[in-house]
Structure 1
Amino acid sequence: MGRMDDRSVIVTGAGRGIGRAIAERLAAEGAAVAVTDVDEDTATGTAAEIGGKAVGIHADVTDPGSVRAMVQRAREEFGRIDGLVNNAGWDKIGPFVDSDPADWDRIIRINLYGVLHTSQAVVPVMIAQGGGTVVNIASDAARVGSSGEAVYSAAKGGVISFTKTLAREVARHGINANCVCPGPTDTPLFSSLFEGNDRLRDALVKAIPFRRLARPDDLAATVAFFASPDATYLTGQTVSVSGGLSMV
């Protein structure tokens, strides 16, 4: 028996990287997982590989209509929604003074508005059920800053603040909301951001006390804890998974 047996969870941006690892971990612990991604083929392919009760669903978190359709599909598949993991994210590295406002808009729409859209669609379902859990993936960039990620840091800072306020508003309904902040993590997105700059990547790794990047599984383990019954009395909390790079 797993601690997530009989629970159903939506994970956004779950086709690859950290989101995929989260979906795999939750499924391994017994959860029925809605693997959602803007890339429908990736979502359905990942769900098929996970097997069991996993189902792949297209969802563009920047589009409220797409999010509502995804949530309706998840409810039809599982009957209820016990957990929401807001993982979908995107960034573009570069000095703020040289950045393009069009990129600001995309970063904020995916990283901040995406969390707002999914939460507004799912939390009423949880209220009607009498309970649930929300886990938002922010970033240590929001807690301590990160050169080249000014707008991303701002958006993720908004996610942390939103999580705390949501936690206060929904606690009386038996719903908790917490935030997980990854440090530098070995994902395709990270690799693309540092492509051609091995010196910067190596310097970053040396700054981490454990001398390695986080693995997606490291994040998945913490998210699975927050999404499980073991974390029922925890709410409004923010935890860094950074190998000690940041200690706040």
Structure 2
Amino acid sequence: MSNRFQTKVAIVTGGSMGIGRATALQLAREGAQVIACARRRPRLDSLADEIAAFGGKFRGVELDIGDIDAFPALIQNTADEFGRLDILVNNAPTVIGGMIVDQDIDAWRANFGVCVESVFIGVQAALKIMQPQGSGAIINISSVSSLRAGIAAGAYSAAKAAVNQFSMCAAMEAAPYGVRVNVVAPGAVETPGLDASVHKNDAMKALMASSIPIQRLGTPEDLAQSICFLASDEATFITGVVLPVDGGKTPQLHVPDWELTLDNRTAK
């Protein structure tokens, strides 16, 4: 395993499960000091034990990133303690699906609160540190739902599309300071969110996999590798990009029947 993040300090939100957990593990394996935040302490403790087993540097912080005071305070405190902040991965997932005619305004606001407002809060706080230090990489996690239309996904898709556009604007503002901002847009990935979306229905997951050109669902590790690439010095000429990591699903023209009938969106 390489040590390409040996001197780096990274914050990962939604870091206790799924894509966030896999990303925290990958960063730690490659030498980063990782701070992962999530709302569930037991899962953070489990992750801490796993990282400690291979000698990684990790701290878990129980935090709701919707807290407009606590989240930026975590980012500032991290920079104060370690003298820098190199990587921010905004990953905290949420999805409240529903047909447009049925969804209430609270569900709409909840999607935008977690998907968009928390990203704004995190990016703003990180840029205040990264721009003066002259370096840094921010990776915001969106979804292929931001690039394609679907049923019962209006609020979620709109929120993730907002993440894309906001990230591109942030990339333009941050570029002169040596800071990069990119987006990873996952497709169908084997996470607890996907299990909840299809009610742990293995037949439905098999049907989803069969509709993907690569013929399988993604794994959290697939996404972690893509995120870590964009966070690394190997991607220093890449900013303002929305990268679908979906097994070739986004350019596919045919929309399978299961996508038209699924009544919940997969949390990424």
Q: TM-score, normalised by structure 2?
A: 0.87
Unaligned runs of 5+ in 1: none
Aligned positions of 1:68-217 closer than 5 A: 68-195=72-199, 200-217=204-221
SS in 2 for 1:102: helix
SS in 2 for 1:97: coil
The Cα offsets for residues 118-170 of structure 1, whole Å up to 9 and x where unpaired, read as: 11111111012111111111000001123222111000000000111100001
AA aligned opposite 2:5: M
How big is the shift at 1:29? Answer: 1.3
- Contact 1:32/1:54, CA 8 A, preserved across alignment: yes
For the residues of structure 1 that align with 2:86 and 2:251, how far apart are their CA atoms? Answer: 31
Matched, 1:218 2:219: no
1:43 match: 44
If each structure's helix is expressed as a fraction of its own residues, which one has the higher value? Answer: 1
The structure-2 alpha-carbon separation of the partners of 1:93 and 1:200, relative to structure 1 and needing over 3 Å to count, comes to farther
The structure-2 alpha-carbon separation of the partners of 1:163 and 1:234, relative to structure 1 and needing over 3 Å to count, comes to same
Large movers: runs of 4+ above 3 Å: 196-202
For the residues of structure 1 that align with 2:178 and 2:61, how far apart are their CA atoms? Answer: 27
| Matched residues, number | 248
What fraction of aligned residue pairs are identical, expressed as a percent? 36
1:33 match: 34
For the residues of structure 1 that align with 2:57 and 2:80, how far apart are their CA atoms? Answer: 13
AA aligned opposite 2:40: D
AA aligned opposite 1:29: E
How big is the shift at 1:196? Answer: 6.1
> CA RMSD of the aligned region, Å?
1.6
- Contact 2:189/2:217, CA 8 A, preserved across alignment: yes
Unaligned runs of 5+ in 2: 253-268
The Cα offsets for residues 80-99 of structure 1, whole Å up to 9 and x where unpaired, read as: 11010111120023322222
1:12 match: 13
For the residues of structure 2 that align with 1:75 and 1:96, how far apart are their CA atoms? Answer: 42
- Contact 2:195/2:201, CA 8 A, preserved across alignment: no
Q: TM-score, normalised by structure 1?
A: 0.94
1:23 match: 24
